[in-house]
Structure 1
Amino acid sequence: MKGPLFYSKILLFGEYGIIKDSKGLAIPYNFYNGALKTEDAETAEAKKSNENLARFATYLKDLDASLVTFDMDTLNADVAAGMHFDSSIPQGYGVGSSGALVAAIYDKYALDKITVLENLTREKLLRLKAIFGAMESFFHGKSSGLDPLNSYLSLPILINSQDNIEPAGIPSQKEGKGAVFLLDSGIVGETAPMVNIFMESMKQEGFRAMLKDQFVKHTDACVEDFLKGDVKSLFGNVKQLSKVVLNNFKPMIPAQFHKLWKQGIESNDYYLKLCGSGGGGYMLGFTEDIDKAQAALKDYKLEVVYNF
């Protein structure tokens, strides 16, 4: 048995801000994917994944039945037969490894599931997001449900606010020098501790004001510029966003990257931002000239995900 593939995702804009109703934009990233399978169940990785799935199945059994129910008999039998999630998606890298797993489990075992083929009204999208949020909370403590939603639909998703989401058409890629890229920090990030730091910071009035007046403002502008294809305005707003993050989200940026982050802002060769919760994993980079960015970041591994 090998199930359908579910892809990783990249939240281009909106990390942390979407908790406070900023706009957000998530896109599928097909470079990484995962699928449920029962063959090759003897490797150490497969065994670890299988044990994780057994715990996840126990958790799913107790979810609110008015929200979602599963064919638990089949799920438990498949787990007993060695089923695991065979995935190339790096864990702790901010590209949605648990999201793809949640999407795969929902797709295969949910009863009365909402399928990707039906007319996806806003109501259905919000219901899916609520289901996925409840499922993914097993991994993160608190989840918006966006990563699994993106993985399940394999469509770009525009978040207008927490209760207003829609599939988005993004401008098709061009063969220009401008690019969005992933920068590998070489460190695995843990989502829960980063979210806890953020929630603690939210208790301070100054931090809340900064989030609303600066972070959310620039994030919203970035989303609008990106969707309109206004590249010139986009880079101005991404630069401002990069500054705000460096000044206010230092704990989420691995210490050895503070200098690199600042260099990008000062040289205008590239601008860095968080990819997911930070603390490690990937960082997202935006550049108007990918050659310049690669020269400036020659000691690091870059993966281009979108061209302007």
Structure 2
Amino acid sequence: MKAPLFYSKILLFGEYGIIKNSKGLSIPYNFYKGGLKLGDLRIDKVKKSNENLLTFRDYLLKLDNSIVLFDFNKMNDDLLKGMYFDSTIPQGYGIGSSGALVAAFYDRYAENKITVLENLTKDKITVLKNIFSLMESHFHGQSSGLDPLNSYLSLPILIHSKNQIETTGIPIQSSNGKGAVFLLDSGKSSETAPMVDIFFKSMKNKNYSEVIRNDFIRITDSCVDNFLEGNFKSLFLNIKNLSKVVFDNFKPMIPKDFHNIWAKGIESNDYFLKLCGSGGGGYILGFSKDFKKAKSVLKDYKLEIVYNF
């Protein structure tokens, strides 16, 4: 069975904000990947994945086929042969494990699919996003569709608003730059749905929703603009403010063991932390002007560089 690999993604900016029409910027992260394979159903890992894919198949059967139509004969045949999703993408870590799976299924089974090779107009990208939103909702209860979109296209994606999305270029990395965007491993996985549920419940509070609209979304939009312009001086002023707003208003999404180092980063200016995905565990995203210094301060934690500048 020949099937392509699909990569993880990192939502640099826009977690929770894009639900409320903020800007967002998502980039592929090629360190982790996954793909559909045939395996031996007597092996536990293969059997468990195959069972999960059968459940996903049952969900896809119920989708409106005027929106997306799948070749279920081919899908059923593959599943009977022991198809599973072979992936290095950690689950519940906020970097798109289910997104890569959705992209793989769309690529292999969708009829009349929109391909990466054709002229990707904004309309086509929106159609893809809406299809992926429906497909990935099986895993999260409610999905924006951005993770599978990023995995499928393997290109940076700029979100202007819910219905205005385009592929974009990002500043070229500096291999000898001192600054870095990095991942910090919280050491535990998390589920997206409960975190999103907390957010929606909090948004019913008038004061909270005003902070989100007036501060969180405004700063998020500025961070997206600064990053795409390569204006890292302004970016760090805004990232510090974003880190503060998240610390003050998204406490349930920040693992308790990390409250202290989150606050220390804001106080020292050595690094600034923000959520990577929905939070609650998994990875935390960090930004530092001097990664060597940040690495030394955070020597007890596992860090991975995502982008150098």
Contact 1:2-1:38 at 8 Å conserved across structures = no
Task: Using structure 2 for the length normalisation, give the TM-score.
Answer: 0.99
In structure 1, the residue matched to 2:72 is 72
Name the structure 1 match of 2:119: 119
Partner of 2:60: 60
Deviation at 1:66, TM superposition (A): 1.1
**Match for residue 255 of structure 1?**
256
Give how far 1:2 is off: 4.0
What is the distance in 1 between the residues matched to 2:148 and 2:70?
A: 17
Could you tell me how far 1:46 is from its partner in structure 2? 1.5
Q: Separation in 2 of the partners of 1:226 and 1:43?
A: 45
Distance 1:287 1:116 in 2: 34
- Secondary structure (helix, strand or coil) at the match of 1:286 reads strand
Q: What is the correspondence of 1:114-193 to structure 2 with a 5 Å cutoff? A: 114-174=114-174, 175-193=176-194
Question: Alpha-carbon deviations, 1:158-195, whole Å to 9, x = none?
Answer: 00000000001000001210000000000111101000
* Whole-angstrom distance in 1 between the partners of 2:246 and 2:305: 22
> Superposition pairs for residues 1-308 of structure 1, below 5 Å?
1-174=1-174, 175-308=176-309
Matched residue of 2:142: which SS?
Answer: coil
Q: Is the 8 A contact 1:23 1:219 kept in 2?
A: yes
User: What is the identity, as a one-letter code, of the residue corresponding to 2:79?
Assistant: V
2-structure distance, mates of 1:219, 1:271:
14
Q: Are 2:39 and 2:46, in contact at CA under 8 Å, matched by a contact in 1?
A: no
- Kindly indicate whether the alpha-carbon contact (under 8 Å) linking 2:27 and 2:155 is maintained by their aligned counterparts in 1: yes
1:171 aligned partner, one-letter code: P
Q: Partners of 1:40 and 1:168 in 2: how far apart?
A: 41
Letter in structure 2 aligned against 1:34: G
Percent identity between matched residues is: 67
SS of 1:9's equivalent in the other structure is strand
Question: 1:248, 1:87 → 2: CA distance?
Answer: 34
Deviations 1:83-141 (A, max 9, x none): 00000000000000000000000000000000001111111000000000000000000
Equivalent-residue separation in structure 1 for 2:114 and 2:61 (angstroms): 19
Q: Which amino acid aligns with 1:143?
A: S
- The one-letter code sitting in structure 2 at the alignment partner of 1:210 is V
Return structure 1 stretches of 4+ with deviation > 4 angstroms. none
Flag structure 2 segments of 5+ consecutive residues without an equivalent: none
Give, in whole Å, the separation in 2 of the partners of 1:180 and 1:153: 22
Structure 2 letter corresponding to 1:144:
S
Give TM-score scaled by structure 1 length.
Answer: 0.99
Partner-residue secondary structure (3-state), 2:65: coil
Q: Deviations over 1:44-81 (max 9, x none)?
A: 22111100000000110110111101000110111111
SS at match of 1:34: strand
Query: SS where residue 287 of structure 2 aligns?
Result: strand
On the 8 A contact 1:26/1:158 being kept in 2, the answer is yes
Cα drift, residue 39 of structure 1: 3.0
CA distance, structure 2, for counterparts of residue 256 and residue 103 of structure 1: 34
The count of aligned residue pairs is 308
Shift of 1:41: 4.3
Separation in 1, partners of 2:249, 2:294: 24
Contact 2:25 2:159 in 1 (8 A): yes
Q: Is the 8 A contact 1:185 1:283 kept in 2?
A: yes
Q: Once superposed, what is the RMSD of the aligned Cα atoms?
A: 0.7
The separation in 2 between residues aligned to 1:164 and 1:247, in whole angstroms, is 30
**1:3 counterpart SS class:** coil
Partner Cα separation in structure 2 for residue 167 and residue 41 of structure 1: 39
